[in-house]
Structure 1
Amino acid sequence: MNLLRKSTTLLILFLCLTSSRHVVRAESKADHPNIVMIISDDQAWNDYRFMGHEVIHSPNLDKLASESAVFKRGYVPTSLCRPSLMTLVTGLYPYQHKITGNDPPKGMNRQKLLKHVQSVDCLPAMLGKLGYQSFQSGKWWEGKPELAGFTSAMTHGDPKRGGRHGDLGLKVGREGMAPVFEFIDQCGKDPFYLWYAPFLPHTPHNPPKRLLDKYRNSELPIELSYYYAMCEWFDETCGQLLDYLDQKGLSQNTIVVYVTDNGWIQYVPESNQERKKMKRRFRYAPKSKRSPYDGGIRTPIMFRWPEKIKPAEYDTLVSSIDIVPTLLYAVGLKPTKSMQGIDLLKVMEHGGKTQRKAIFGDIYEHDMVDIDDPASSLKYRWCIEGNWKAIIPGPRLANEKVELFNLSKDPFEKKNLATEYPEKAHQLLKLTNAWWDGSEK
């Protein structure tokens, strides 16, 4: 009788503990959750209503945020799409996966870069070992998606047929969601991994007229009208995808992850005269894409898993290098030794607390200098500890100086405090050097 009472007490204690957790992980193969990656293309961290934008309408992503663990201080290591996307599929920094730019040196065959995707562990291939079906749609630079382990794809990756950064995959969202829906239907009872990385709100900024008209007014520059409409168009497609998961009864056992590949601040000409002289009407402003500033590297990162992840908002510093390890832990796999990211499920369990001191990143040339030597293309390294951020120019930018910002007081990085707080700047430089010296360059 005493043994029975003890067993009952232990069972009740176990149930109480597990019911109070923020996160419940998959316990068996039958419980493996589906995974949906939603990746925005060229969108600033604050261009959503749930992040404080007062003009852009983002009802579907607002709803997703209300149902998710939202890390409002999320970052990508680099502010260019190809290396950033490669991080999202490998969990590695650009210096590790060696895809540091969008293109190889001038004159080099692009196919030579594909050796890098074949030399690292990619999430679709790792999930495939558990029986996952996987589908690539939207942006993709690394040749045939099958090289990364995708079981099916929209992109063909053949340079002879216009394959560069997504080819046929770039139609998704802009021309409908049918390929994505067909993939979901074909999976049956198999768990699936969906890569939804539409060419949105990326240029060309050619939104539907009904959305453009919504943002056209005399007080808003025309460039912003087009861009804002593109953001809402992207939001609509996200809503269509999330609604389809609901319709098929799949939302309950699906982890939805949201992130942006890199930021975008729409450039607005100072005058009509300047506007008329511009060769490219829709382009990004300084301190956004391709830069080390928050306008280029900051993004909200969200995880939704109904009844497994508790909806909450966190100010914890997190990085896109954390996404792959987190998903691996969620399905019962372990990250590789090369992955430096942390398990965000555990961070959620502890109310957003983490032992990590700082996050880091590195910015490179658009065209790689040496495809096997990331340091040859390095422009900047950056480090954030708490509210302090340092930007450290590389040897290629010898005339530039270290910059230091207090992001809590200066979120748009207008005032360099390096000369006022030299000790802080030096401390962040030491942290960055320690991270960099420990890297496998």
Structure 2
Amino acid sequence: MKYLLLLLSLTSLAVSAADKPNIVFFLVDDQRYDFLGCTGHPMIQTPNIDKLADNGTLFENAFVTTATCWVSRASILTGMYMRKHRFTGGKIDPKRIDTSYPMGLKKAGYQTAYFGKTHFKVDKNQQKMMFDEFIQVGRRPFHKKMPDGSLKHETDIIADHAINFINKQSSEKPFFVSLNFNATHAEDGDKKNHFPYPESAAHLYTDMTMPLPKLHDRKIFESQPDFMQNSMHNDRYKWRWDTPEKYQHNMRNYLRMASGIDFALGRVVTALKEKNFYDNTVIVYTADNGYYAGDRGFAGKWTHYEQSLRVPLILFDGRHQKGQKLSQIALNIDLGATMLDYAGMPTPKEHNGSSLKPLIEGEKVEWRKEFLGEFYSRHKTIPNWEGIRHERYVYASYPEEGYEFLHDLQKDPDQLKNFAKNPEYKEILKKMRKRLRETADPLGNPFITKK
């Protein structure tokens, strides 16, 4: 009898392992929601990403909680708001890594790999515990010299590593691979060629005139308070977007960088199909933050407007292919919990995010109506802020400047008006201030002090 029970137990474990999907995670740098074909951009060519959206789930209201590369990537890894993980550069607190989603995937029996940009450091022993393969690939320069003397773009190098990893896997054990692109981040040190693109996209957009940003009217920039006008938003705008010639050149190359990522994604999908993994693989595509790209007279990200916080998010499940769009608020801190859920693992209690899987599968669950947005750095020309992004209202406090914003997305979806001093919004302002304190204070001490 005991041998029968043992056999049943082993069979159950084998079935459980077979049911776990492979997971492939694409994380892009500096790409906002509307810079894909499937999200409405009038020119960009992203056919492979669009196909994932057509057969998967496109989240129409996906956001990051802190709009800057290093913090957002730490938040994805830990499942936590910045206020909780406390990462401001250097090494992430090891106790936050203990409950990270890669640790959970390893416990679930996954072979794991990480290729590309980090923008953070982790304890070396923890890194080995999280990943079977770990290869960091940075920019500066984007094009790397190969052993044969040729140059290859970091986007293609990262895809090569991922494909090599996939080709070594078998159907007996699930795998996870994370592709962390430096593109479409600018090469800040090169003022003439900000957006070096891979050869795969060199032929695109050559004879096209790039459309101006929707919010390009200079009056929009001039309506901003002085601390916004004199910030890095304006410095980098002058690097990239402030003349028609610069704008056309740089936007054309920015789109080429994005299309190069689409081409790399297509190569990875082909590898999955060739190994017969595609129909048992979950693919996640998102970005670490949005990007102003000239809107409002701004460059960069960092601050509280939609162009900075809102990102693309697509989740494709090869086992249940269906095209759908969801309007619920999804966050970067949900991604770890979501991938763990697909692996059959619970969300660690330390995480601030929640699994998106129930929403994708049509379950009726209570869901957030708002989230905490925050930014803190020691950079003198980037303003620090904290606020609440509600389904209708956006409240942002810049305590060091003694300044508040209140936007009504229903009446003013482009956030061109600040209702903070409008008497009609007095009670809404009080409520949003209260919600900020109720949401932020339990997570940890504030980074920002009042003026």
Q: Normalising TM by the smaller chain, what interval?
A: 0.7 to 0.9
Residue equivalent to 1:20: none
Unmatched tracts of structure 1, length 5 or more? 1-25, 104-109, 269-283, 369-376
Q: 1:409 to 1:70 in 2, by over 3 A?
A: farther
Aligned-partner SS, 1:257: strand
Matching residue within 390, 393, 401 for 1:388? 393
- Give the gaps of 5 or more residues in structure 2: 1-13, 146-151, 188-194, 211-247, 446-451
> CA offsets per residue over residues 12-54 of structure 1, 9 Å max, x none?
xxxxxxxxxxxxxx98233111111111111121111111110
SS in 1 for 2:417: coil
Q: TM-score scaled to structure 1, two decimals?
A: 0.76
Are residue 432 (structure 1) and residue 436 (structure 2) matched? yes
- Determine the C-alpha separation between the residues in 2 that align with 1:208 and 1:246: 24
Secondary structure at the residue paired with 1:214?
Answer: coil
Q: Using the alignment, how far apart are the partners of 1:69 and 1:154 within structure 2?
A: 30
Task: Identify the residue that residue 267 of structure 2 maps to in structure 1.
Answer: 240
Q: Please give the alpha-carbon distance, in whole angstroms, between the structure 1 residues aligned to 2:420 and 2:299.
A: 18
Match of 1:94 in 2: 82
User: What is the rounded CA distance, in whole Å, between the counterparts of 2:397 and 2:105 in structure 1?
Assistant: 37
Q: 1:391 to 1:439 in 2, by over 3 A?
A: same
Deviations for 1:196-246, whole angstroms, at most 9, x for unmatched residues? 111112223112467455323474322211112111111111111122212
- 404 and 181 in structure 1: CA distance in 2 versus 1, 3 angstrom threshold: same
Distance 1:119-1:136 versus aligned 2 partners, 3 A rule: closer
Deviations for 1:99-145, whole angstroms, at most 9, x for unmatched residues?
A: 13xx4xxxxxx4xx354476542221221112211111111133367
1:152 maps to 2:133: yes
Equivalents in 2 of 1:382, 1:118: separation in Å?
A: 24
> TM-score w.r.t. structure 2 length?
0.75
Q: Does the 8 Å CA contact 1:347/1:353 hold for their aligned counterparts?
A: yes
Report the CA distance shift for 1:129/1:378 in structure 2 as closer, same or farther (over 3 A): farther
C-alpha separation in 2, matches of 1:342 and 1:439: 16
Residue in 1 that maps onto 2:220: none
The one-letter code of the counterpart of 2:433 is L
> Percent identical across equivalent pairs?
24
Structure 1 residues 317 and 92: CA distance shift in structure 2, 3 A: same
1:398 aligns with 2:401: yes
CA distance in 2, matches of 1:81, 1:88: 11
Structure 1 counterpart of 2:72, which letter?
Answer: S
Matching residue within 318, 327, 344 for 2:330: 318
Q: What is the count of residue pairs matched by the alignment?
A: 373
Q: Distance in 1 between matches of 2:346 and 2:198?
A: 44
Q: Do the aligned residues in 1 keep the contact of 2:169 with 2:175 (CA within 8 Å)?
A: yes
**Given that residues 376 and 385 in structure 2 are in contact (C-alpha distance below 8 angstroms), is that contact kept between their aligned partners in structure 1?**
yes
* Cα pair distance change 1:218/1:231, threshold 3 Å: closer
Check conservation: 1:264, 1:285, Cα contact below 8 A.
no
> What secondary structure does 2:35 align onto?
coil
In the alignment, structure 1 residue 214 sits paired with structure 2 residue 219: no
Q: 2:117 aligns with which of 111, 123, 139?
A: 139
Amino acid at match of 2:75: T
Aligned to 2:160: 178
Q: 1:200 aligns with which of 177, 183, 190?
A: 183
What is the match of residue 231 of structure 1?
A: 258
What residue in structure 2 maps to residue 190 of structure 1? 173
Partner residue, 2:107: 129
Question: Are the structure 2 counterparts of residues 214 and 378 from structure 1 closer, same or farther at C-alpha, using a change threshold of 3 Å?
Answer: closer
Tell me, in whole angstroms, the C-alpha distance in 2 between the residues paired with 1:309 and 1:97.
35
Inter-CA distance 289–194: structure 2 relative to 1 (3 Å threshold): same
Alignment of 1:29-428 (within 5 A): 29-100=17-88, 103=89, 110=90, 113-116=91-94, 120-143=98-121, 147-148=126-127, 149-155=130-136, 172-175=154-157, 177-188=159-170, 189-204=172-187, 205-208=195-198, 211-217=201-207, 219-220=209-210, 221-267=248-294, 286=298, 288-308=300-320, 310-350=322-362, 354-365=366-377, 379-394=384-399, 397-399=400-402, 401-420=403-422, 421-428=425-432
CA 1:391–1:67: 2 relative to 1, 3 Å: same
Deviation at 1:171, TM superposition (A): 5.9
Counterparts of 2:334 and 2:264 in 1: how far apart (Å)? 25
Distance 1:138 1:156, change over 3 A: closer
Change (3 A) 1:309 1:345: farther
Task: Mark the CA change 1:409 to 1:211 in structure 2 (over 3 Å): closer, same or farther.
Answer: farther
